[in-house]
Amino acid sequence: MSGKRKAEEIVQESDNKQHKTDKKDGTEDIIVKEEENGETESPLPSANNDNENGSQDGLSSTDTLDKKDDKDVLLVGSIQLKEMTMFFFHSVYLIVYFSQNLYIYEPIFGQHSVPCYRVKGTDGCGMFLICGGTNWDLTGRKNVPKGTKGATGRNLWSPHRFTPLSGVRVRLVASGSNSVHSIIVTEEGKAMSLGRNEKGQLGVGDTKRRDVPTLIEALKDHIVVGAACGKNHTLLLTDRGVVYGCGDNKFGQCGVGNQSPTILTATLISYKGPPIVKLGCGAEFSMILDCKGALHSFGLPEYGQLGHNTDGKYFITCNKLGFHCETAPKRIVFFIEKAKDGHITPVEVVEIIDFSCGSNHTVAVDSHKRVFSWGWGGLGRLGHAEQKDEMIPRLIKFFDTQSRGVKSVHCGSSFSLAINELGAVYLFGQTKRTGEANMYPKPIQDLAGWAVRSVGCGFTSIVMAADDSVIAWGPSPTCGELGFGELHKSSTTPMEVKALEGIYILQVSCGLGHTLLIARDESQQDKARLMKLPEFMP
């Protein structure tokens, strides 16, 4: 039987000797075809019978789904997915979801779905570095709140090694432009949290500040591959495409299906759909991207930042406004193109591949390299050359007419960055607290020729890892998040961070007043350079 044959032909030929399971959720039937000797394939091992590397016995994460079409197969299950007939050996599986990063298969006989190719985390691990403000209770405030005890921490004006993580290799760091807390994921996928915790955003079961990274116990048996931080809430993503939320939930931004004021431990969100591959948090709203390219949003709908064609406002009393919040993920359905005369045209077949959230806006890229933005339009952060709020994702015409499409987007509090396929970096919005704003995307000429691989956007600061350097800029006042040192604390134009010269940075993430970095530490030369950096003990 040729692997090139369509699933429909296989089904037709095996009408008299096949066993079908009941259909589940509208998916195709599983076909167990008999061999010539009349015997059927033996059923797969139990979904719970895992081997040491986490995959099913006799079934690795890379060879479970065999898409080769140049062999005959003895016993084949097949379904049509994305115009592709998927064949896999020795199988009684139904592929439930499929994307470039993730396969979900479902064994028959009523067992639960389990992933055979899990959500991929970031590449590379290294040493954790930090700079900026570490007085978590005071950052972004004029005074320490009443009742706060033992406020400690100082401004780190240059990148420091972090004593509590000495000897710990880190795979992922995450914070946000409004965040005074952070998530750190180790090489093994264990999530730790650090910083302010007044709303339980650290997910450790209480509201006490953490000056030292603390393991999130609720996820200790999971492999965490993604995280996002809002003003006072956090989302975490496991390698199985499952999302957990914690922290401030006044507007439903944790996605657990209610508006309980605070969620103190990492809690499974109220979502039933394709596995999630990417997370994002605004100040008080959240976005998740599934493996099929659909965006889902939840939380505060103010300014239309959820993308559902409403700002959710209603009158509680004659002079008091309230909001109809989304407490569970809701799919963003419509994407539009708007002409200068206001004429609106729907944009069809939008499959999102990347997105980023600012305080009250979101920018996203689809598989056709088109860019959409929505939410608060103030200061040009949406790139539409006007300051109008957008309730539905709107196509940014500037990039639609460029010779090269956009490959990634990054958002700060009131600005946005887009990097095209040629590596050019565009800025729209405002990074300064005063002065003119970019009402439409403008290239940053100082970055021409730099190969940018990681971007961190803070409240007004930007830090980038490019080639063998780190580039940063932002207006004063700062807390040291730019890493320039105590004598040169800010810059309105991109500058190299001299303290990191010769150190290869794998990843950057910025918070409200601090910056987290992962530095390569594979060679002895890498380690020698890192050991020259100062060390911080909280």
Residues pairing with 290 in the sheet:
276
Dihedral pair phi/psi, residue 397, rounded to 5°: -65, -30
> pLDDT at residue 72 above 50?
no
> pLDDT tens, 320-353?
999 999 999 999 999 999 998 889 999 999 999 9
Dihedral pair phi/psi, residue 398, rounded to 5°: -55, -45
DSSP string, 407-467: EEEEE-SSEEEEEETT--EEEEE--SSSS--EEEEEE-GGGTT--EEEEEE-SS-EEEEET
> Taking the CB of residue 413, how many other CB atoms lie within 10 A of it?
23
The two structure tokens encoding residue 52: 């040491």
Lowest mean pLDDT, pick from 8-22, 155-169, 194-208, 266-280: 8-22
Q: What is the mean pLDDT of residues 343-370?
A: 97
pLDDT, averaged across the chain: 83
Lowest mean pLDDT, pick from 101-105, 397-401, 424-428, 498-502: 101-105
pTM of the predicted model as reported, rounded to 2 decimal places = 0.80
Measured between alpha carbons, how far is 509 from 23 in angstroms, rounded to an integer?
44
Q: How confident is the model at residue 436 (pLDDT cuts 50, 70, 90)?
A: confident
The two structure tokens encoding residue 198: 């007044």
Q: Which domains does the chain have, with CATH numbers?
A: 126-137+154-536 (2.130.10.30)
pLDDT at 73: 29
Lowest mean pLDDT, pick from 21-35, 262-276, 480-494: 21-35
> pLDDT tens, 304-313?
999 999 999 9
Dihedral pair phi/psi, residue 474, rounded to 5°: 170, 155
